Chain A
Amino acid sequence: MSAEREMLTTSLRDQLDVRQGEDAYLVLRRATVLDPVAGIDSVHDVVVRDGKIAALASPGEADADGAEVIEAEGLHAFPAFFDPHVHLRTPGHEHKEDVETGTRAAAAGGYCGILAMANTQPPVSTAADVSALREQARAGASVPVGFLATVSKDMQGTELTEMVELREAGAVGFSDDGLPITDAGLMRRALQYQRLCGGNIALHEEDPRLSGEGAMHEGPVSAVLGVAGIPSVSESTMVARDAALAGYENARIHVQHLSAAESVEIVRAAKAAGVQISAEASPHHLCLTDEEVRSLDPHRFKMNPPLREERDRQALIEGLRDGTVECIATDHAPHQPEEKDVPFEQAAMGVTGLETAFAALHTELVLAGVIDLGLLVERMGGGAEPFDLPRPTLAPGSEANVVLCDLGAEWTVGEDGYESRSANSWCAGRTLTGRVLVTVAAGQVAFRLRSFSLGVAA
C-alpha cells in the first residue's frame, strides 16, 4: 500500500459498507436547503435519483414524474450527518446494540455514515474480525458503516496489531477507544507505522493513574458528593503527549471526545504549529456540565470522559466556532438497564446519542443563540474528512446524503422508545425542538419518521 494518503473517492457507499437496497427517487418540494460548506442557503426542489443529488431545482419546478414527492415547504434539508464515534457493541455485546439497531438509530438521527469503535468482545484486532463485521454491515446496515481496528492487539496496550493487513481488510482507521494508549513507546510506533498503512489513529486520551477510581469530573461537585474525581489533566496531559508525538513523527491523529478546556487549548496550539491533529466533541459535553451529576443519576450522566465544568463547556463551544474542534461525535455508548440501575460509582460509563444529537444541539445551542444553524450543520458533517472520507454535501452530482428536518417540531425523548436497543440516552425525558423526518443515506431512504405523512406521487 502506498505511503501516500489515499485519494478521496466521492461516495460513502464505495468506501464503507451498507445494505444495498433500492435507490430512492424523491423530490423534496420547496425545501429550505442549507449546506454551508457548499455555499447553499436557499429554497429548492431537491431531486434525489440514482444515488445522487440529481438537481437542486427552482422551487415548485422539478419534474417529479414517477418520483415520490415530499411537500417540504417550511422544512429544512441539510447534508446528512457523519458520526466518527459510535459503539455498535458487536461482536460480544449484541444485547446492547448490533449493526442493524445501531445503524437504524443513526438513520433516525439524520446520519448517513458512522464509524464503529473496536472495543468489542473480543476487540476488532484481526483482518478476519474486520471482514466479518463488513459482511454484517452489507447484510443489515441502514447507513454506511466503517470499522476501526484496535491499535494494540486485543487492546492490551503492549503490541501493535497487524495494521497493514487490517487496512487491506478495510479497516478505516485505528483506535483503542475505551482505553488510552498509556505506553508512549507503543504510541510512537503506531504513528510510525501509519506511514506504511495510512489510516487515522483516533485517541481516547486519559492517564489512568490520574483518573484512578474516578467516576466523575474532579471539582467542587465531586468534592461535595464524595465521588472520586477524574481531573481535567488526566485528559490534557495525554493530548499534549500525543500532539508532541504526532508532530515529531509527522503523523496524523484524531482526538476523541474532547472534554476539558486545557485539551482544547493544546489542540489549538498544535494545529497552529502545523501538527496534523483533528478533534471531536460530543453533544453531551457541549450541552451539560458536572452540575447534572448532583442528581447521581448514572443513566443519563455517567460517562467517560465525564461531564466537566461550565468553563470547559464554553471552551468546547469556542473550539467548535474557530474550528479547533472540527466535528461533533456522539460517542454513542449503549448499555442495558442492569448496568445502569446501580449506584453511580458502580454503573457502566456511557450514554446513547445518535437519535438525539442534532435535536439536542439545535435546542441547546442554536435556539439558545450560542451558535448558528450553519455551524451546527457543518460540524455535524465534519467527522468524515479526518478519516479520508467524503464530507456529505448537497452539491448537485454528489452522492445523495440528505436529512430533512422540521426545526419547529417538539418531541419528548424516549416517549416513543428508541431505535437503539438501549435506552440510556442522556436526553431521556427532555423535550427537544427539531426533528429528523427523513434520512437519505448513500442514495437510499434510511429512515422516515412514522408520524410524518408522505406526499403522493405527482
Chain B
Amino acid sequence: MKHLLSIEQLSREEIEAILDRAESFAEVGRRDIKKVPTLRGRTVVSLFYESSTRTSSSFDLAAKRLSADLVSVKAAGSSVEKGESLKDTVATLSAYDPAAIVIRHPYAGAAQMVAGWTTAAVVNAGDGKHEHPSQALLDVYTLRRRLGSLEGIRIWIVGDVLHSRVARSNLIAFAKMGAEVTVCGPPTLIPRGIEELGCDVSYSLDGIEEAEVVYALRMQKERMSESFVPSLREYAANFQIDSRRLNPRQLLMHPGPVNRGVELSGEAIDSPQSLITEQVAAGLVVRMAILYELLAGGDASTPAAEGEGSRPTPIGTSA
C-alpha cells in the first residue's frame, strides 16, 4: 500500500492488517515510554486546509510517537492565504523530502491529486464530502474491540449523510467488514443513489431498535439556512438520538465534534453505551498504524518487538 486515499481502495484483509497493527500500538501506549523509533529521521508533513481538532492532533501525535520529524501546516496563516495553489504548496513541501503527507482538504479528490504530484506516501485525512478513511478505520477498530467482529452486525448511520465524508467511508468500511448498514435521515440529507454503496435507506428512526450500533452524524447549523431542514428543533424532534430512543444494549458512536441537544442528547453522550471517547483514543493508535503500514510496511517485525528491542536505549523522554 503506497497511499491511503480511500476506504474503497482497501480490501478487508488490508483493513484487518491495519487494525492488528493498531492493537500492537495500543500495547505500546500502555508503557511509560510511549514512543518507538520506527520513523526516526523521516519527515511527516501534515497539511490541513480545514479546521480539525481530533484528526490533526492525532495524526501529529501519531507521527511523533513513531519518532518522525513533523511539519504541520494549516491553511490559515500559510501561503495558502496568499493564493498559492495546492500543487505549488505540495511542490514546496515536497522539497523537504517528506516520507508522508497527511492532507485534509475541502474538496473531493484532493488527496488523490496530491499523490500524483509527490513521491511521498499520501494519507487522506478527509477530502471534501468524499472520504475520511482514517476515521472509518478507527471506528471499525473501536467496534471490533467491543464486539470481536462486525460480521452480521446491524449499524444505523443517522443524520446528515449528504454532507458527510464520515458516512461514506464508514458505510463502505462497515459493509466490507460484514456489517449490515442502514442510513437514516431526512430525505433532503440523504444523497440520491446512496443505495449503490450497499446500504438500506430509512427516512425515520422507526426500526432503529433492530440496530446493535447507532452511529450519529454531526448536524451542521448552516444546513438550516440552506433549507435542508426546516429547523434544528424539528430535526431534533425527529432524529435526535436520546436515552428514550436508545435501548440499553445498543452502542452509540459519533465522529465528533458533537452538537449537544441536536443530533444527540447530553445524557446519551455521557451514557455508558457511548463509545465516543474510545473512538478518540482509537484515533491515535489507528493513525500510528496507518503511518507504520505506509512507511515501514512490509517490515516483518512488529512495532512492539521493535519497541522492546530499543528499550535499553530509549529515545528521548517525550510522551
Docked Cα-Cα span, A343 to B5, in Å, equals: 14
Q: Which residues of chain A are near B86, meaning CB under 8 Å?
A: 342-343
Q: Is A223 an interface residue (CB 8 A)?
A: yes
Could you say which of A222, A341, A345 contacts B191, with CB atoms under 8 Å apart?
A222
Whether the Cβ atoms of B107 and A345 lie closer than 8 Å is yes
What chain B residues lie within 8 Å of A219 (beta carbons)? Answer: 192-193
Contact present for B196 and A223 (CB under 8 Å)? yes
B78 touches A (CB below 8 Å)? no
Chain B window 89-129, contacts with chain A (Cβ cutoff 8 Å), 1 for yes, 0 for no: 00000000000000001011110110000000000000111
Asked if residues B130 and A226 are in contact (CB atoms below 8 Å), the reply is yes
A223-B193, A226-B165 known; A342-B85 Cβ under 8 A: yes
Contact, CB under 8 Å: B109 / A296: yes
Report B223 CB to chain A, min CB distance, Å: 13
In this assembly, does B17 line the interface, its C-beta being within 8 Å of a C-beta of chain A?
no
Q: Are B193 and A220 in contact (CB under 8 A)?
A: yes
Q: Is B168 an interface residue (CB 8 A)?
A: yes
Within 8 A of B (CB), among A279-331: 296, 298
Complex formed: what's the CA distance from A296 to B115 in Å? 13
- In whole angstroms, what is the CA distance A346 to B168 when docked? 21
Q: Check if A81 is an interface residue, CB within 8 A of chain B.
A: no
Tell me whether A224 and B108 are in contact (CB under 8 A): no
A344 in contact with B107 (CB, 8 Å): yes
The answer on a CB contact under 8 Å between B108 and A343 is: yes
Whether a CB of chain B sits under 8 angstroms from the CB of A97 is no
Smallest CB separation, A312 vs chain B (Å): 14
Q: In the complex, what distance in Å separates the CA atom of A219 from the CA atom of B194? A: 8
Bound form: Cα–Cα A219–B165 in Å: 17
Cβ B108 vs Cβ A226 within 8 A: yes
> A226 vs B112: C-alpha distance in the bound complex, in angstroms?
14
A199 touches B (CB below 8 Å): no
> How far is the CB of B222 from the nearest CB of chain A, in Å?
12
A4 partner residues in chain B, CB cutoff 8 A: none
Residue of B nearest to A231 (CB): B192
Q: Are B110 and A343 in contact (CB under 8 A)?
A: yes
Find chain A residues with CB under 8 A from B224 CB.
none
Specify which chain A residues have a CB less than 8 angstroms from the CB of B127 in the assembled complex. 343
Check if B296 is an interface residue, CB within 8 A of chain A: no
Asked if B191 and A343 sit within 8 Å, CB to CB, the answer is no
Kindly provide the distance from the CB of A334 to the nearest chain B CB, expressed in whole angstroms: 19
Instruction: Encode contact with B along A328-355: 1 for CB under 8 Å, 0 otherwise.
Output: 0000000000100111111000000000
B147 contacts chain A at the CB level, 8 A cutoff: no
CB-CB < 8 A to B192: which residues of A?
A: 218-219, 222-223, 229, 231
- Let me know if A227 is at the binding interface, CB within 8 A: yes
Whether A225 sits at the interface, judged by CB under 8 Å, is yes
**Contact indicator B113/A343 (Cβ below 8 Å):** yes
Chain B: number of interface residues, binned into ranges:
20 to 34
Selected contact of A296 from candidates B105, B112, B168, B193, CB within 8 Å: B112
CB-CB under 8 A from B87, the residues of chain A are: 341-342
B197 at the interface (CB under 8 A from A): yes
User: CB within 8 Å of A: which of B66-85?
Assistant: 85
Contact call B193/A338, Cβ cutoff below 8 A: no
- Which of B86, B105, B112, B128 is most buried by chain A, counting CB atoms within 10 A of its CB? B128
**Closest Cβ neighbor of A298 among chain B residues:** B109
Q: Contacts of B197 on A, CB cut-off 8 Å?
A: 223-224
Alpha-carbon distance A341/B117, docked complex (angstroms): 10
Q: In the complex, which residues of chain B have a beta carbon less than 8 angstroms from the beta carbon of A341?
A: 85, 87, 113
CA distance A446 to B242 in the complex (A): 73
CB neighbours (8 Å) of A220 from chain B are: 193-196
B112's closest neighbor in chain A, by CB? A296
Interface contact B193-A344, CB-CB below 8 Å: no
Complex interface: chain A residues within 8 A of B196 (CB): 220-221, 223-224
- In the bound assembly, the distance between CA atoms of A227 and B192 in angstroms comes to 12
Q: Which residue of B lies closest to A343 (CB)?
A: B107
- List the B residue with the shortest CB-CB distance to A216: B108
Task: State A228–B129 Cα separation when bound (angstroms).
Answer: 9
A226 to B113, CA, bound (A): 16
Chain A residues near B139 (CB-CB < 8 A): none
B202 CB → nearest A CB, Å: 16
B131 at interface (Cβ–Cβ under 8 A)? yes
Distance from A290 Cβ to chain B, minimum over Cβ atoms (Å)? 10
Is the pair B85, A343 in contact by a Cβ cutoff of 8 Å? no
- Which A-chain residue is minimally distant from B114 (CB atoms)? A343
Q: A150 → chain B, closest Cβ, in Å? A: 30
CA distance A342 to B84 in the complex (A): 12
Instruction: For B130, list chain A residues within 8 Å (CB).
Output: 225-227
| CA–CA, A359 and B79, complex, Å | 44
Q: Check if B105 sits within 8 Å of A224, measured CB to CB.
A: no
Which of B85, B164, B191 is A338 in contact with, Cβ under 8 Å?
A: B85
Which one, B85, B105, B193, contacts A222 given CB within 8 A? B193
Which residues of A sit under 8 angstroms from B165, Cβ to Cβ? 226
With a cutoff of 8 Å between Cβ atoms, the chain A residues found around residue B194 in the complex are 220, 223
| In the bound complex, CA of A298 to CA of B110 (Å) | 11
> 8 Å CB contacts to B: which residues of A204-259?
218-229, 231
- Contact call A343/B105, Cβ cutoff below 8 A: yes
Q: List 15 A-B contacts (CB under 8 A).
A: A219-B192, A220-B193, A220-B194, A221-B193, A223-B194, A226-B129, A226-B168, A227-B130, A229-B192, A342-B85, A343-B105, A343-B108, A343-B127, A345-B107, A345-B128
8 tightest A-B CB contacts, nearest first: A296-B109, A226-B129, A220-B193, A343-B107, A220-B196, A223-B193, A223-B191, A226-B130
Known: A218-B193, A226-B108, A226-B191. 16 other contacts (CB 8 A): A221-B193, A223-B194, A226-B131, A226-B164, A226-B168, A227-B108, A227-B130, A229-B191, A296-B109, A342-B107, A343-B108, A343-B109, A343-B110, A344-B109, A345-B107, A345-B108
